[in-house]
Amino acid sequence: MNLKEFEGKFLLNKYNLNISKGLTISQDSIKQSGLQIDNFPVFIKAQVLSGKRKAAGGIQIAHNLKQATLEISTMFNTEINNEKVEQILIDKAVEFDKEFYTSIMIDSRSRRPLLIISNQGGSDIEEIKKTNPTSIRTLEINILKGIPTSDIQALTHDFDFSEKQFKNFKTTINELYKCFIENDLKLLEINPLVLNENSNEFTALDSKTIIDDNAMYRQKIPFQLRTGLRAKTILEQRANDIDKDDHRGVAGTSYIDFGGNIAVLASGGGASVIAMDALISYGGNPANYTEYSGNPPAEKVTKLTNVVLDQPNLQGLWVVGGTANFTSIYDTLKALIDVVIERDFTKPIVIRRAGPEDEKAFDMIRDLADKHNLDIELYGRETPITLSAKYIVDKVNNEKHLGGNI
């Protein structure tokens, strides 16, 4: 999960680091307790997750309260790269002489955390890669050993640090690494990390942080959970909660609302992705993306089916998956179809599934479809996943067409 600047700084605050902390405000907090700023100038920083926030007008400077009030009210009413501004961080201006770039990320090639530093920090680090690539230094970190001082020395040998500055820089890097490890981060980026040559102190002015979703069980995160760049919807939260405290199979852990009219219940991570690729390419409009796999117990499928069918404006349901190894097609489809019947969902349904007990499952569905007058097409292993996408799109469109004639 991506964290906003003020949330990242909340994590960093527990470590021996200088951070520009400032004051986080929301529209509610201003309504309740007004706006009080003691020292000017200040930076008004929109708390959004998208990059290039400065270029999009998400960072402004204010020299007095009147100016600050105006900038804040404008910012709350503007979208920054299509993202609504929910919080603003008011940061004191910090005096500095030099800007550095620092980050720690997971590197898939070396299969290690990777430290990246540059003495050319600032907003345009991607530019620096083009214009001044030699200023970018990287170090693979052996997680069993941490970061040896000699390696930091080697990386910064031409940064003209004084002895005191090097000591403070080394402490900063070590504390950032500690924060990275202890909070299960996938990315911790400080840009800029600034140096004041009078005090010899380094200060983190910004932070970009991503927490590993797989490690959420051992991290207590006091922030609102989100999908991508926005807060999780109620349905997303409900779907994500299904796997809590029950590790048998996976259901709803990856669920995203799209707002279209075809409900999707896919199985298998890989199959669900090519299924969505195909649905969109045939002109379908998915209401959601979600996936269950690894033979989840029936109650998980029941819960997830209810979440998916709780979406508004549905015109069809597409149940799609590859050829399962383990997942009982009978048990999972039985749980699913029971929900369909209980909710009296009479829109078109296309099912493409294969795997253990698939024929028994299809016999059961044919019986129930007759009994309850359900509009279901069934496809098995002879039909490619991608082709069944076309079938659900056709069915949904036909129904619209009929509705228009009546």
Packing angle, helices 298-309 and 234-241, rounded to 10: 170
Q: Is 319 exposed, middle or buried (0-12, 13-18, 19+ CB in 10 A)?
A: buried
Nearest approach in angstroms of CB 213 to other proteins is 8
Structure tokens at 176: 């950032």
Nearest approach in angstroms of CB 372 to other proteins is 30
Q: Does 225 bind other proteins (CB under 8 A)?
A: no
Among the listed residues 135, 203, 267, 315, the single contact to other proteins using CB under 8 A: 267
d(CA 35, CA 88): 12
Among the listed residues 268, 296, 316, 348, the single contact to other proteins using CB under 8 A: 268
Conformational region of residue 158, where left means phi above 0, alpha means psi within -120 to 50, and beta covers everything else: alpha
| Nearer residue to other proteins within complex by CB, 293 or 311 | 293
- How many chain residues interact with other proteins (CB under 8 A)? 76
Asked whether the beta carbons of 100 and 192 are under 8 A apart, the reply is yes
| Nearer residue to other proteins within complex by CB, 94 or 280 | 280
Nearest approach in angstroms of CB 207 to other proteins is 11
SS3 319: strand
Handedness of CA 83, 86, 87, 93 (dihedral sign): positive
Ranges within 60-99 binding other proteins (CB under 8 A): none
Quick one: which of 244, 252, 248 has its CA closest to 289? Answer: 252
Stretch that binds other proteins, among 35-43, 92-100, 250-258, 359-367 (CB under 8 A): 250-258
Among the listed residues 48, 173, 340, 385, the single contact to other proteins using CB under 8 A: 385
Ranges within 116-155 binding other proteins (CB under 8 A): 116, 125-126, 129, 136, 138, 142-144
Structure tokens at 108: 């898939």
| Nearer residue to other proteins within complex by CB, 162 or 269 | 269
Stretch that binds other proteins, among 37-45, 102-110, 151-159, 165-173 (CB under 8 A): 102-110
| Nearer residue to other proteins within complex by CB, 61 or 215 | 215
Q: Is 331 exposed, middle or buried (0-12, 13-18, 19+ CB in 10 A)?
A: middle
SS3 401: helix
Among the listed residues 87, 191, 288, 302, the single contact to other proteins using CB under 8 A: 191
Stretch that binds other proteins, among 37-45, 154-162, 336-344, 383-391 (CB under 8 A): 383-391
Exposure pattern of 235-245 as b/e (b: 16+ CB <10 Å)?
bbebbbebbee
Ranges within 316-335 binding other proteins (CB under 8 A): 321-326
Among the listed residues 89, 168, 355, 365, the single contact to other proteins using CB under 8 A: 355
Upstream peptide bond of 192 is cis (omega within 30 degrees of 0)? yes
Question: What DSSP string runs through 244-308?
Answer: TT--SSEEEEEEEE---SEEEEEESHHHHHHHHHHHHHTT--BSEEEEEES---HHHHHHHHHHH
Asked whether the beta carbons of 196 and 96 are under 8 A apart, the reply is yes
Asked whether the beta carbons of 313 and 262 are under 8 A apart, the reply is no
Among the listed residues 208, 238, 360, 390, the single contact to other proteins using CB under 8 A: 208
Ranges within 22-41 binding other proteins (CB under 8 A): none
Nearest approach in angstroms of CB 16 to other proteins is 21
Ranges within 278-307 binding other proteins (CB under 8 A): 278-281, 289, 293-295
Nearest approach in angstroms of CB 297 to other proteins is 10
Nearest approach in angstroms of CB 99 to other proteins is 14
Stretch that binds other proteins, among 60-68, 90-98, 249-257, 363-371 (CB under 8 A): 249-257
User: Position 30: which residue type?
Assistant: I
SS3 163: helix
Among the listed residues 58, 113, 296, 316, the single contact to other proteins using CB under 8 A: 113
Among the listed residues 16, 39, 108, 134, the single contact to other proteins using CB under 8 A: 108
User: Position 183: which residue type?
Assistant: N
Among the listed residues 24, 47, 87, 103, the single contact to other proteins using CB under 8 A: 103
User: Position 6: which residue type?
Assistant: F
Among the listed residues 56, 65, 93, 181, the single contact to other proteins using CB under 8 A: 181
From residue 126, alpha-carbon distances to 52, 133, 242 in Å are 11, 10, 40
Nearest approach in angstroms of CB 125 to other proteins is 5
